């Protein structure tokens, strides 16, 4: 079981565009639940992304040994805070929401303008797995069910706190990022590509830009697997645009369609991802742009699978024959 299976997401709508007031209300509620504001930044100006964590270094009770180490100056203030954080984490029940991320932006629901809020809840067990090397394989089905119920219920309490209307029921992130294209990839045995897309989408939804590296790898892997399934030689991973040209030569794509796919996927998505990856400092990509990149890629994959693998449609005879 992947750590992201312990991440839960929901979406709700507030019939108000006063983001400042909504932020204040949400902050007050989360403070009352024992959270503190860990960070935040503009999502797409002037909208917000906020992160709260259930940890208060100034009020947390430090173990005696840790206090002694600090008093003797055996550890720095930063090390003390880190050890205090891990103590707080390890003494928190696995199911308890430990970090909450909120994305706020204006939008419409049923014709009404207001604020859309996406909520991600990460329970303590998620951080025990990712930061303290706990194995998720020891989580029983019964315990996972309890963790799921606790975090989904907590998201609904956040909705109620601000007088919102639930538009998407809270559910595990794995369910949230599900798509028909990923299922199609699996059914036609593009398993590695499907896995890369799933992992990448999970990462970007929780604010991890490494998910874009997974998307780039998925594009490279898709064309390699596609050429192998056609019993053709695949080019080197970063030269997959030559595989795209070969699909035209083989008669699967006409020149106009190849040009559209090349413009969208190679000159657009892939070039963008390559620039983000190779040009330091690494560029921050907002959530909406990341979703767009995944959606465009999945649309191309879906088209090529339908045309070439499922129906084996050719537009013309192979060139040169």
State pLDDT tens for residues 172-183.
998 989 999 999
Q: Is residue 145 domain-shared with residue 215, that is, in the same domain?
A: no
State pLDDT tens for residues 228-267.
999 999 999 999 999 999 999 999 999 999 999 999 999 9
Nearest-angstrom CA–CA distance, 171 and 181: 20
Of 139, 154, 174, the domain-final residue: 174
Q: Report the 3 state secondary structure along 219-281.
A: HHHHHHHHHHHCCCCCCCHHHCHHHHHHHHHCCCCCHHHHHHHHHHHHHHHHHHHHHHHHCCC
70 falls within a domain: no
Q: Is residue 164 domain-shared with residue 239, that is, in the same domain?
A: no
103 falls within a domain: yes
Q: Is residue 27 domain-shared with residue 154, that is, in the same domain?
A: yes
Q: Is residue 152 domain-shared with residue 245, that is, in the same domain?
A: no
Q: State if pTM tops 0.75.
A: yes
Q: Note the pLDDT of residue 249.
A: 95
Residue 119's domain comprises 3-54+92-174
Kindly report the number of other CB atoms within 10 A of residue 287's CB atom.
16
Which two structure tokens, joined as six digits, stand for 285? 């990509």
Q: Is residue 164 domain-shared with residue 35, that is, in the same domain?
A: yes
Nearest-angstrom CA–CA distance, 102 and 11: 10
The residue-averaged pLDDT of 156-181 equals: 95
Which residues fall within 8 angstroms of residue 48, CB to CB, at 6 or more apart?
Answer: 19, 23, 40, 41, 42, 102, 103, 104, 105
318 falls within a domain: no
Q: Under DSSP, is residue 316 helix (H, G, I), strand (E, B) or coil?
A: coil
Please check whether residue 301 is in contact with residue 193, taking contact to mean a CB–CB distance below 8 angstroms: yes
Q: Is the pLDDT of residue 47 over 60?
A: yes
Q: Note the pLDDT of residue 279.
A: 60
Q: Note the pLDDT of residue 63.
A: 83
Q: Under DSSP, is residue 172 helix (H, G, I), strand (E, B) or coil?
A: strand
65 falls within a domain: no
Q: Is the pLDDT of residue 60 over 60?
A: no
Of 147, 174, 201, the domain-final residue: 174
Q: Is the pLDDT of residue 154 over 90?
A: yes
Q: Is the pLDDT of residue 278 over 70?
A: no
Q: Is the pLDDT of residue 316 over 80?
A: no
Please report which confidence band the pLDDT of residue 318 belongs to, taking 50, 70 and 90 as the band edges.
Answer: low
Of 111, 139, 174, the domain-final residue: 174
Q: Is residue 248 domain-shared with residue 193, that is, in the same domain?
A: yes
The residue-averaged pLDDT of 54-60 equals: 74
Q: Note the pLDDT of residue 61.
A: 74
State pLDDT tens for residues 194-223.
999 999 999 999 988 899 999 999 999 999
87 falls within a domain: no
Mean pLDDT value across the chain? 92
Q: Is residue 127 domain-shared with residue 104, that is, in the same domain?
A: yes
| Preceding amide of 281 cis, omega within 30 | yes
Q: Is residue 158 domain-shared with residue 231, that is, in the same domain?
A: no
HSE (CB half, 13 Å, CA atoms) of 297? 34
Q: Under DSSP, is residue 121 helix (H, G, I), strand (E, B) or coil?
A: strand
Identify the top-confidence range among 34-48, 112-126, 304-318.
Answer: 112-126
Report how many domains make up the chain. Answer: 2
């Amino acid at each position: 079981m992947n750590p992201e299976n312990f991440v839960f997401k929901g979406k709700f709508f507030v019939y108000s565009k006063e983001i400042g007031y909504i932020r204040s209300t949400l902050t007050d509620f989360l403070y009352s639940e024992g959270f503190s504001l860990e960070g935040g930044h503009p999502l797409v100006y002037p909208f917000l992304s906020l992160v709260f964590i259930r940890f208060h270094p100034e009020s947390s009770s430090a173990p005696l040994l840790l206090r002694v180490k600090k008093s003797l100056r055996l550890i720095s203030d930063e090390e003390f805070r880190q050890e205090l954080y891990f103590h707080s984490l390890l003494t928190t029940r696995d199911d308890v929401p430990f970090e909450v991320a909120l994305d706020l932006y204006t939008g419409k629901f049923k014709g009404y303008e207001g604020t859309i809020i996406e909520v991600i809840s990460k329970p303590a067990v998620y951080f025990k797995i990712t930061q303290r090397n706990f194995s998720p394989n020891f989580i029983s089905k019964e315990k996972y069910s309890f963790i799921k119920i606790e975090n989904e219920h907590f998201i609904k309490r956040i909705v109620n706190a601000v007088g919102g209307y639930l538009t998407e029921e809270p559910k595990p992130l794995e369910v949230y990022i599900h798509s028909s294209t990923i299922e199609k990839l699996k059914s036609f045995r593009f398993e590695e590509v499907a896995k890369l897309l799933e992992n990448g989408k999970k990462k970007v939804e929780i604010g991890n830009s490494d998910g874009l590296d997974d998307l780039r790898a998925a594009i490279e892997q898709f064309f390699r697997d596609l050429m192998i399934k056609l019993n053709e030689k695949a080019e080197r991973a970063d030269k997959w645009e030559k595989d795209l040209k070969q699909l035209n030569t083989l008669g699967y794509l006409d020149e106009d369609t190849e040009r559209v796919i090349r413009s969208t996927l190679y000159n657009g998505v892939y070039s963008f991802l390559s620039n983000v990856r190779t040009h330091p400092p690494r560029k921050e990509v907002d959530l909406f742009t990341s979703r767009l990149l995944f959606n465009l890629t999945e649309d191309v994959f879906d088209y090529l699978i339908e045309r070439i693998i499922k129906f084996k449609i050719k537009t013309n005879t192979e060139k040169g024959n």
